[in-house]
């Protein structure tokens, strides 16, 4: 046992947990920790982001891409509060992140001191747990507990706030091996047998896959399960990549911008097997009409999700991978040829078609899909480009799609792309943004160039807030209140000023050439793509409508929205 400064204990505990990279921004209250990080720079890499929010998103992207815990740091006051949006994004999508902030000294707490804020209280609703460490003797065990909480059960973010005097004073420290967290399953043999009986009695089963299947690394077990059940598969936005998007059983995304085959198939099925999804409002539409002909079997690690939004007839609580293994071991293959053929007909009748007449958002995404490898990591911001990516990029592997699904955070993708590339340096990383989202955190291009992080940033620029404008066009009488962005901002010049290579394209041919160049460049590369302001994402379900009421442009011409 040795006596170390609080800051040194923090760094040693990070090393205990296998942390090799942190993202952050220094300040007065956290200065002792940054002084210690200087001494450990050969063992822990620190990425200085341009803004604390970028650090939180980078830690999130690092975690999603690598299946490790992401770590971000910030000082007290505004530094800490700037992390909140990123922490909330991680919380909504169940991403394991540990955020470490430092506060004013114990003697200054509660006195409205300079840059003092109760960050542990502020983030309480959007973390699995938040700590404030005022006693250095509890520091090491608090950090260890935070990492364990972040990855246990349903993963999520944890915040540790540490007073400045604790980081400067000395305390006893002894190395401890990190505690291994085993995935939990609380299902009985009877529940497994009843579930198998339920599946065997179904004539029209349908599987819906969410982000929990990715977090539990259940892709292999999922493929086996789908093959044995012989059923079509849809995914939520967060579930993309859990099941191969090029597989013949795959029907596409479900929900507000889901395919007709998925939305109609789920409406018609007699058994909906939901694996690691939480029945978000954007997935289910009108809850009273969702899968109204089906019995619902819900598999989830979080018991609180069962019957929260949609009543489950049956449930299995625990790690999705382990539950699927148990089911696969006892389930003999069944066949639903007629049902699968019916869903195939729906896919043929209602394909999502790409407009290739000129440079469109759809064409851009489909081209990126064609030109990149299956292990490419795609991150997005939030809006039309996010939905086009979900519709037209065929994700074949888990942990290759990073997006803010639950919170819908504009400005998420660029920081996440940086974190993903740092975590997985041998993979191509592309962030896809709209012009409205890009301007939220575009200063992180400077972070990428500072560290020579070769990400590709694609900006689909329609000079409007595209998704909001689409709603205004369809539901608000074309009153485009504050959604037109035709200003004098030049993204190419801005990117070049921050040290990136940048090109603006207006045609399909120019985009093809620019993206090929970006793939070969091994540098931070920004491509601004000019598209029409009135492009829309279809299919679509009106807010509050049943997902079976999904419509496209052809439907609108027959039955215009009034």
Residue numbers annotated as active site: 52, 114-115, 164, 467
Asked if 98 and 149 touch (Cβ cutoff 8 Å), the reply is: no
Asked if 371 and 456 touch (Cβ cutoff 8 Å), the reply is: no
Q: What SS3 state is found at 193?
A: helix
Query: Which tokens is 453 given?
Result: 């992080």
The region, left, alpha or beta by phi > 0 then psi within -120 to 50, assigned to residue 244 is: beta
Q: How far apart are CA 14 and CA 6, in angstroms?
A: 12
Q: How far apart are CA 97 and CA 415, in angstroms?
A: 14
Q: What are phi and psi of 432, to 5 degrees?
A: -110, 125
Query: Which tokens is 36 given?
Result: 């210690």
Asked if 56 and 88 touch (Cβ cutoff 8 Å), the reply is: no
Write the DSSP string, 34-81.
HHHHHHTTTTSEEEE-SSHHHHHHHHHHHHHHHSS-EEEEE-STHHHH
Report the chain's C-alpha Rg in angstroms: 24
Q: Tell me, what DSSP letter sits at residue 137?
A: G
Distances (CA, A) of 507 to 344, 433, 510, 511: 34, 18, 5, 6
**Which helix (H) or strand (E) element contains residue 347?**
helix 337-349
Q: What are phi and psi of 248, to 5 degrees?
A: -65, -25
Of 291, 30, 38, 290, the C-alpha closest to 165 is 30
* Cis-peptide, bond into residue 539, ω within 30° of zero: yes
Distances (CA, A) of 60 to 95, 181, 294: 7, 20, 36
Asked if 98 and 157 touch (Cβ cutoff 8 Å), the reply is: yes
Query: Which tokens is 193 given?
Result: 């047998």
Query: Which tokens is 220 given?
Result: 């292999």
Q: Which residue has the tokens 């590709």?
A: 456
Q: How far apart are CA 176 and CA 162, in angstroms?
A: 21
Asked if 214 and 238 touch (Cβ cutoff 8 Å), the reply is: yes
Asked if 73 and 55 touch (Cβ cutoff 8 Å), the reply is: yes
Q: How far apart are CA 480 and CA 501, in angstroms?
A: 34
Contacts of 248 (CB under 8 A, 6+ apart): 344
Query: Which tokens is 78 given?
Result: 């505004």
Q: What angle do helix axes 466-475 and 384-392 make, rounded to 10 degrees? A: 100
Contacts of 488 (CB under 8 A, 6+ apart): none
Point out which residues pair with 207 in neighbouring strands. 233, 273
């Amino acid at each position: 046992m040795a006596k170390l400064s609080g800051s040194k204990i923090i760094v040693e505990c990070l090393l205990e947990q296998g942390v090799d990279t942190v993202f952050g921004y220094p300040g007065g209250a956290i200065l002792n920790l940054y002084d210690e990080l200087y001494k450990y720079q050969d063992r822990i890499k620190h990425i200085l982001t341009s803004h604390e929010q970028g650090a939180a998103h980078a830690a999130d992207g690092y975690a999603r891409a690598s299946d490790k815990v992401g770590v971000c740091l910030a000082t007290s006051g505004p530094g800490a509060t700037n992390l909140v949006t990123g922490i909330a994004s991680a919380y909504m999508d169940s991403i394991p992140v540990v955020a470490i902030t430092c506060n004013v000294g114990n003697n200054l707490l509660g006195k409205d001191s300079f840059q003092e804020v109760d960050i542990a209280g502020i983030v309480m609703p959007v973390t699995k747990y938040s700590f404030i460490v005022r006693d250095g003797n509890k520091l090491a065990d608090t950090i260890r507990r935070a990492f364990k909480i972040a990855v246990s059960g349903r993963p999520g973010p944890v915040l540790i706030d540490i007073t400045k005097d604790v980081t400067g004073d000395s305390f006893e420290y002894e190395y401890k091996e990190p505690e291994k967290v085993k995935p939990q399953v609380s299902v009985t043999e009877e529940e497994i047998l009843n579930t198998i009986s339920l599946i065997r009695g179904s004539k029209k089963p349908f599987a819906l896959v969410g982000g929990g299947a990715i977090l539990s690394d259940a892709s292999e077990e999922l493929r086996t399960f789908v093959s044995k059940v012989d059923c079509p598969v849809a995914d939520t936005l967060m579930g993309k990549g859990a099941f191969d998007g090029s597989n013949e059983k795959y029907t596409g995304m479900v929900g507000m911008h889901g395919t007709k085959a998925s939305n109609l198939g789920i409406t018609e099925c007699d058994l909906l097997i939901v694996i690691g999804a939480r029945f978000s409002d954007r997935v289910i539409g009108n809850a009273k009409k969702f899968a109204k002909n089906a019995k619902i079997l819900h598999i989830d690690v979080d018991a609180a999700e069962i019957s929260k939004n949609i009543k489950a007839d049956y449930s299995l609580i625990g790690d999705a991978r382990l539950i699927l293994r148990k089911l696969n071991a006892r389930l003999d293959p069944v066949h639903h040829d007629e049902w699968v053929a019916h869903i195939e007909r729906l896919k043929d009748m209602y394909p999502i078609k790409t407009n290739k007449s000129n440079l469109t958002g759809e064409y851009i995404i489909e081209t990126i899909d064609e030109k990149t490898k299956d292990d490419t990591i795609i991150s997005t911001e939030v809006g039309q480009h996010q939905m086009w990516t979900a519709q037209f990029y065929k994700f074949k592997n888990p942990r290759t799609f990073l997006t803010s699904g639950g919170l819908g955070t504009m400005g998420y993708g660029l920081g996440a792309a940086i974190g993903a590339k740092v975590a997985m340096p041998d993979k191509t990383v592309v962030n896809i943004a709209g012009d409205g989202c890009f301007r939220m955190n575009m200063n992180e291009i400077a972070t990428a160039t500072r560290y020579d992080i070769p990400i590709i940033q694609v900006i689909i620029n329609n000079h409007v807030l595209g998704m909001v404008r689409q709603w205004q066009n369809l539901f608000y009488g074309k009153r485009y209140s504050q959604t037109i962005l035709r200003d004098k901002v030049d993204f190419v010049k801005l990117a070049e000023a921050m040290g990136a290579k940048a090109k603006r394209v207006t045609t399909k041919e120019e985009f093809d050439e620019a993206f090929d160049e970006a793939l070969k460049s091994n540098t931070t590369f920004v491509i601004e793509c000019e598209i029409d302001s009135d492009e829309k994402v279809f299919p679509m379900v009106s807010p509050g409508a049943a997902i079976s009421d999904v419509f496209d442009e052809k439907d609108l011409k027959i039955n215009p929205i009034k």
